Amino acid sequence: MAVSSLLRLLFFFVFFVIFVDGQCLDDQKKLLLDLRSEFKFNSSVPHSIVNWNETGDCCEWNIVGCDDSGHVTSLDLNSGGISGIIGESSALFRLTYLSRLGLSRNDFTTSEIPNQFHRLPNLAYLRMSSSGFMGPFPSTLANLTELVELALSGNFLTGSIPSFHNCKNLESIGLSYNNLMGTLSHLHFQGLRNLSRLDLSGNSLSGTIPQHLFVLPSIDMLDLSNNQFSGQIKQISIVDHSNLGWLDLSGNRIGGPIPNFFFQLPNIFNLWLSDNLFNGTFKLNKIRSLTRLSSLTLSNNNLSVDTNNMSSSSYINVLHMSSCNLHDFPNLRNASYMSSLDLSNNRLRGDIPSWIWETEISYLDLSFNLLKGLKKALISPNFSVVLLANNRLTGAIPTFICNASLLGVLDLSFNNLSGSIPPCLINKGIVSQVLNLRGNKISGVIPDQFSSKCDLQTFDVSNNNLGGKVPMSLSNCKNLLVMNVGNNNLNDIFPCMLSLSLRILVLRSNRFQGDLRCSKSWPNLQILDISSNDFSGRLNFLNLSSLRGMMLQSPIRVRLKRSDSNFLGANSVYRNEVTLTVKGIEVKLVKIWPDFTSIDLSSNRFRGEIPDAIGDLTSLYLLNLSHNSLTDAIPRSLGALTELGSLDLSANKLTGRIPEELAKLTFLSVLNLSYNHLSGLIPTGSQFQTFSADSFEGNAGLSGFPLNGSFNNPHRFGPSPSDDSEPKDEEIEWGYVFAALGYVVGFGSIAWTLLCHRRLRERYFEKIEEVADKIFYERGRRRRHERRVRRREERRNGLRRHHH
Ligand SMILES: *[C@@H]1O[C@H](CO)[C@@H](O)[C@H](O)[C@H]1NC(C)=O
Ligand SMILES: *[C@@H]1O[C@H](CO)[C@@H](O)[C@H](O)[C@H]1NC(C)=O
Ligand SMILES: *[C@@H]1O[C@H](CO)[C@@H](O)[C@H](O)[C@H]1NC(C)=O
Ligand SMILES: *[C@@H]1O[C@H](CO)[C@@H](O)[C@H](O)[C@H]1NC(C)=O
Ligand SMILES: *[C@@H]1O[C@H](CO)[C@@H](O)[C@H](O)[C@H]1NC(C)=O
Ligand SMILES: *[C@@H]1O[C@H](CO)[C@@H](O)[C@H](O)[C@H]1NC(C)=O
Ligand SMILES: *[C@@H]1O[C@H](CO)[C@@H](O)[C@H](O)[C@H]1NC(C)=O
Ligand SMILES: *[C@@H]1O[C@H](CO)[C@@H](O)[C@H](O)[C@H]1NC(C)=O
Ligand SMILES: *[C@@H]1O[C@H](CO)[C@@H](O)[C@H](O)[C@H]1NC(C)=O
Ligand SMILES: *[C@@H]1O[C@H](CO)[C@@H](O)[C@H](O)[C@H]1NC(C)=O
Ligand SMILES: *[C@@H]1O[C@H](CO)[C@@H](O)[C@H](O)[C@H]1NC(C)=O
Ligand SMILES: *[C@@H]1O[C@H](CO)[C@@H](O)[C@H](O)[C@H]1NC(C)=O
C-alpha cells in the first residue's frame, strides 16, 4: 500500500518533470557541464552539481529547469558548496534562455562578477547574496529589462549603483552590506511602479535621499540604514494608499526636523530613525494616529522629544528614545504590547513609576538618568533585561525584582544602593546571565546560595563594601566567564573552585591571602588581576603553561578596527568569527576586541624567582609584578612576549643584568624596572631609548643611557613628552572590556546593537581606543598613523576608481 502510493507519487513527479520541462538539448547540456568544470565543489554539500554527468536528460537534474523546447531557463545553485571564479567567457553567459539564476551562499571570495549580464536578456530573478563577490558593481545588470528580483546583499561590491529606470518590472532590490558608494540621483529607481522592496543598508552611500523613493507606488520596505546619507528630508504629500510599512533610515547623517509625512503613512509598521542628526522638538503624540506602528526608534539624534498628551493605547511594541532630552516618563500605562523600551541617557528624575513593572516589557533600559527611587511594585514576569546603571538609586535592592522569573541581565551598577544582596537574587537563579552590582555601597556577604542550576556568565560586585568570602557555591556556575569582586573587603584564599570556563578574574584590592596553589587551572583565562592583596608564596605555583587563553593562537589574528568602514568589508580569512543573521542575510562577524590579556599580581607578598614559563604567555599585553619580593634575574624568556605593551617589575629584589631580549619588544610602551638590585649596562635598542630614567632608577648597579646624563639630552627619541601622560596605577576600565567581550559574555542584545549600527559602533570603538590608548599609548599612536595612511590610500583608490 505504502509502496504503491510512493510509486504513484514518483510517477506523478516524473510525469510532471517531463511534461513541464522539455528534453534537454545537447548544447545546453554541454554548457552546463562546461560551467561545472569552471567551479570547484564541496562534495559534502548534498545538492552539489558534482553529480552531473554526460548521460541522462539535463532537464531532469534537480536544480535545473527547462522550457518546453529544452532550453535551460532556471538554475538553482544556492548553497551549492561552490567555489572558484566566474570568468568573462564563462559558459554561464551562453545559457541565454536563463530567467532564474541562484548563486547565493557559495564561496566566490576571489571572484568579481563579470559585467556580462546583458548577454542574458531573459534574466528575471538573480540571486547572488552572501557569496563573497568582490570588485565593481556589474553595471550591465541595469540593461536587463525583464529583471524582477535582484539580490546581491552581503558581498564586497564596490563602486556606485547604476540607475535601474529601464527595469520596469523590478519588484525587489537587495544590495545591502556591500561597499557601494556614491549618491542616488532623481533617476535612480524612478518609475519602478512595481518596486516593493528596496534594501541598500550597510553601504557608504551619500548625498541626500531622493524624495521620490518614499512615494514609489508599490514601495513597502525601504531600508537605507547605515549609510552616509545627509541633508534634510522635505515634507511631501503622501497618497492615502501608500503601502510603506518598513522605513529604516537609522545610522545616517540626516538632519533637520523629522518630516511630518512619516506620521501620515497609514501602514507604517517599523519606523527607525535613530543615530542621525534630526533636530528640533518632536511631539510624540504624533504617533497616536498610526494604528499599525509597532516599532519606533528615535535614539541618538539631536532631538527634544515632547511626551505630553501621549495617552496612547497603541500597539507599539518597541520604543527607543535614548538621548532624546526627555525630562518626564512618557505615559505608556496603556501601551500593553510594549516589549522593548529604551529611555537611557535622558534627564528622567524622581522615582521609577511603578506601572513600568506591571507592563509586559521584556527589555528595559533606563540607564544614565537621574532616577532616585525604585518603588515596591508587582513585577510582571516578562522582564528579561533590566538596565538601571548610572542613576542615583538609593536604598536596598528591592526584592520584588526576584519575581521576574526570566531575568537574564540585571545591571544596577553605579548607583547609590546600600544594604546587602538579597539572597533571592541568587538562590533562585533568577538572573541567568549577567548580574552587575558594581559601584554601589552594598555591604554584608555574598550569599552562599548559588543554585546547582546556576547559568550565570558575568558576576560583578566590585567596588562595594562586601566582606566575608567568595561563596563556594559559585562553583555551581559552570559557565561563568567574568568574575569581578575587586575593591571590597573580602577575606579569603584564592578561589580555586571557580569554573574552568573563566575568562576574567578580578580580586584586586581585597584581603585575599595564601598562595596560588590550585589543583586545576583555567585554560581560557585572559585577564587575571589579583593585585593589592596579601597573597604570598612562589609564582610557579600558578600553572602558567596551562593558560592557553594567554597564548597566541595560530596563525592569524586579525583585529577589526573602528575605521574599517564596514564590518563586512573584510574577507573570510578571519578566524574567531561569529555568524549572525541580520534580516535574513547571514553575516559573518569577527571578534571585535583583540584578545586583551593581562596579568596583574602587583602589591602582594610573592617571593622567589619569576618563572621561565611566563615566556609561554605570548599574547600578554600587560604584565605587572611590581611591589612584591621577587628575587633572582629577570628571565630571558620575557623576550618572547612580542605583544607586550606594559611591563612593570618595579619595587622587587631582582638582581643581575637586564636581558638584551627585552630591548626587542617593539610594542613595549610602558616599562618600569625601578627599585630593584639590577646591575650592568642598560641594553640598547630602539624601543629602550624612549624610556626615561624613571624606568630604571633605584638600581644602584645600573648604568648607561638614559640613566647617565641623559636628562638634558636634546636628542631624546620617540614620543614628545607633551602627550605622554603615562598611565600609572590606572585600573583597566572593565566596563568597556566587558562590553567588548559582549557577545562572549552573552550580552547578546548589546553586542548585536553594536555590530549592526555603525554610528554606535564608531562611538564605541572611539571609547575602547581611548582606554587602550591610555594603557598603550605608543601602540595607539602607531595604529592612528597606520590608519591615517590607510585612509589616505583608500581615498586615493576611491578617486582613482571614480576617474575610471
Ligand atoms: C564543505 O561543507 C561542509 C558542510 O557544509 C563544511 O563543514 C566544510 O567546511 C566544507 N568544506 C570546505 C573545504 O569548504
Ligand atoms: C549519471 O547520473 C545518473 C543520475 O543522474 C546516474 O544514474 C548514473 O549512474 C550516472 N552515470 C555515471 C557514469 O556516473
Ligand atoms: C546598456 O544600456 C545603455 C543605455 O541604457 C547602453 O548605452 C549600453 O550600451 C548598454 N550596454 C550594453 C552592454 O548593452
Ligand atoms: C507590475 O505588476 C503588474 C501586476 O502584477 C503587472 O501586470 C505588470 O506587468 C508589472 N509591470 C509593470 C511594469 O507594471
Ligand atoms: C536643525 O539643523 C539645521 C541644519 O541641519 C539648522 O539649520 C536648524 O537651525 C536646526 N534647528 C534646530 C531647531 O536646532
Ligand atoms: C544639537 O543642537 C544644538 C542646538 O540645538 C547644537 O548646539 C548642537 O551642536 C547640535 N549637536 C549636533 C551633534 O549637531
Ligand atoms: C494636552 O493636554 C492638556 C491637558 O492635559 C490640554 O490642555 C492640551 O490642550 C493638550 N494638548 C494637545 C495638543 O492635545
Ligand atoms: C488607559 O485605558 C483606560 C481604558 O482603556 C482608560 O480609562 C485610561 O484613561 C487610559 N489611561 C491613559 C493614561 O491613557
Ligand atoms: C508576556 O509573557 C506572556 C507569557 O509568557 C506572553 O504570553 C506575552 O505575550 C508576553 N508579553 C509580551 C508583550 O511579550
Ligand atoms: C511575588 O510573587 C508572589 C506570587 O507569585 C507574590 O505572593 C508576592 O507577593 C510577590 N512579591 C512581590 C514583592 O511582588
Ligand atoms: C547615597 O545614599 C546615602 C544614604 O544611603 C546618602 O546619605 C547620600 O547622600 C547618597 N549619595 C548620593 C550621591 O545620592
Ligand atoms: C599544568 O597544566 C598542564 C596543562 O594543563 C598539565 O599538563 C600539567 O600537568 C600541569 N602541571 C601541574 C604542576 O599541575
Could you write out the three-class secondary structure of 324-379? Answer: CCCCCCCCCCCCCCCCEEECCCCCCEEEECCHHHHCCCCEEECCCCEEEEECCCCC
CA 23 to chain centre: 51
Flag whether pLDDT at 373 surpasses 90.
Answer: no
- Closest ligand relative to 441 C-alpha: 11
Flag whether pLDDT at 758 surpasses 60.
Answer: no
For residue range 435-474, list pLDDT tens digits in order. 889 899 999 999 999 988 888 888 989 999 999 999 999 9
Please state whether beta strands 605-608 and 629-630 pair in parallel, antiparallel, or not at all (unpaired).
Answer: parallel
What is the grid cell recorded at 698? Answer: 633605584
DSSP structural state of residue 259: P
Q: Which residues contact 439 (CB under 8 A, 6 or more apart)?
A: 413, 414, 415, 462, 463, 464
Q: Which residues contact 194 (CB under 8 A, 6 or more apart)?
A: 168, 169, 170, 171, 218
For residue range 24-48, list pLDDT tens digits in order. 788 888 999 899 889 888 878 776 6
Contact criterion met (CB below 8 Å) for 277 and 298: no
Q: Is domain 530-733+757-788 classified as CATH 3.80.10.10?
A: yes
Q: How far apart are CA 469 and CA 136, in angstroms?
A: 62
Distance of CA 79 to CAs 360, 434, 573, Å?
40, 37, 20
Average pLDDT (555-580) is 30
- pLDDT for 727 equals 34
Average pLDDT (627-636) is 95
- pLDDT for 753 equals 43
Average pLDDT (148-162) is 92
Flag whether pLDDT at 776 surpasses 70.
Answer: no
Flag whether pLDDT at 585 surpasses 70.
Answer: no
For ligand 8, atom 1, name the residue with the nearest CA.
Answer: 334
Flag whether pLDDT at 756 surpasses 80.
Answer: no
Q: Which atom of ligand 9 lies nearest, measured to the CA of 380?
A: 1
Angle at 591 (CA atoms; ends 590, 595), nearest 5 degrees: 140
Locus of grid cell 538601571: 388
Distance 164 CA to ligand 3 centre (A): 12
Burial of 529 (0-12, 13-18, 19+ CB in 10 A): buried
Cis peptide before 353, with omega less than 30 degrees from 0? Answer: no
Q: How many residues does the chain have?
A: 804
Contact criterion met (CB below 8 Å) for 475 and 451: no
Helix/strand/coil for 19 = helix
- pLDDT for 759 equals 47
Q: Which atom of ligand 6 lies nearest, measured to the CA of 302?
A: 1
Mutate to test the pocket of ligand 5, among 229, 233, 278, 279 (most ligand atoms within 8 A of CB): 279
For residue range 469-481, list pLDDT tens digits in order. 999 999 999 988 8
Q: How far apart are CA 298 and CA 305, in angstroms?
A: 9
For residue range 484-503, list pLDDT tens digits in order. 899 999 999 999 999 998 88
Q: Is 45 in the pocket of ligand 1 (CB under 6 A)?
A: yes
Mutate to test the pocket of ligand 10, among 378, 379, 383 (most ligand atoms within 8 A of CB): 378
Average pLDDT (703-710) is 70
- Closest ligand relative to 399 C-alpha: 10
Distance of CA 586 to CAs 202, 233, 396, 742, Å?
13, 31, 45, 20
Q: How far apart are CA 494 and CA 323, in angstroms?
A: 43
Average pLDDT over the chain, rounded to an integer? 79
Burial of 13 (0-12, 13-18, 19+ CB in 10 A): exposed
- pLDDT for 455 equals 85
- pLDDT for 354 equals 87
Q: How far apart are CA 589 and CA 757, in angstroms?
A: 13
Of the two residues 761 and 219, the one the predictor is more confident about is: 219
DSSP structural state of residue 765: H
Q: Is 443 in the pocket of ligand 9 (CB under 6 A)?
A: no
Q: Is 193 in the pocket of ligand 4 (CB under 6 A)?
A: yes
Q: How far apart are CA 777 and CA 690, in angstroms?
A: 13
Distance of CA 222 to CAs 201, 250, 277, 548, 617, Å?
9, 11, 19, 47, 50
Q: Can you give the three-state secondary structure of 143-185, one letter per residue?
A: HCCCCCEEECCCCCCECECCCCCCCCCCCEEECCCCCCECECC
Contact criterion met (CB below 8 Å) for 446 and 466: yes
Average pLDDT (132-150) is 93
Average pLDDT (325-349) is 88
Buried b (16+ CB within 10 A) or exposed e, 372-407: bbbeebebeebbbbbbbbbbebeeebbebbbbbeeb
Locus of grid cell 501601551: 335
Ramachandran area for residue 193 (φ above 0: left; ψ -120 to 50: alpha; else beta) = alpha
CA 523 to chain centre: 24
What is the grid cell recorded at 265? Answer: 503613512
Closest C-alpha among 628, 627, 597, 629 to residue 614: 597
User: For residue 33, how many other CB atoms are within 10 A of its CB?
Assistant: 15
- pLDDT for 70 equals 86
Contact criterion met (CB below 8 Å) for 465 and 443: yes
Of the two residues 532 and 44, the one the predictor is more confident about is: 532
User: For residue 527, how many other CB atoms are within 10 A of its CB?
Assistant: 24
Average pLDDT (528-541) is 93
- pLDDT for 556 equals 29
Q: How far apart are CA 678 and CA 394, in angstroms?
A: 52
User: For residue 654, how many other CB atoms are within 10 A of its CB?
Assistant: 23
Distance 257 CA to ligand 5 centre (A): 8
- pLDDT for 597 equals 79
Q: Which atom of ligand 3 lies nearest, measured to the CA of 115?
A: 13
Question: Any bridge partners for residue 134, and if so which?
Answer: 112
Percent of the chain whose pLDDT exceeds 90 = 41
For residue range 354-365, list pLDDT tens digits in order. 888 888 888 888
- pLDDT for 596 equals 65
Locus of grid cell 535551460: 72
What is the grid cell recorded at 182? Answer: 556614491
For residue range 165-176, list pLDDT tens digits in order. 899 999 999 999
Contact criterion met (CB below 8 Å) for 319 and 338: yes
Q: Is 281 in the pocket of ligand 5 (CB under 6 A)?
A: no
Contact criterion met (CB below 8 Å) for 199 and 219: no
Distance 362 CA to ligand 9 centre (A): 9
Average pLDDT (773-798) is 49
Q: Which atom of ligand 5 lies nearest, measured to the CA of 280?
A: 13
- pLDDT for 482 equals 83
For residue range 247-297, list pLDDT tens digits in order. 999 989 999 999 999 999 999 999 999 989 999 999 988 888 888 898 999
Ligand 10 pocket list (CB less than 6 A): 378, 399-400, 403
Distance of CA 258 to CAs 210, 326, 717, Å?
16, 17, 53
For residue range 196-225, list pLDDT tens digits in order. 999 999 899 999 999 999 999 999 999 999
Distance 712 CA to ligand 12 centre (A): 51
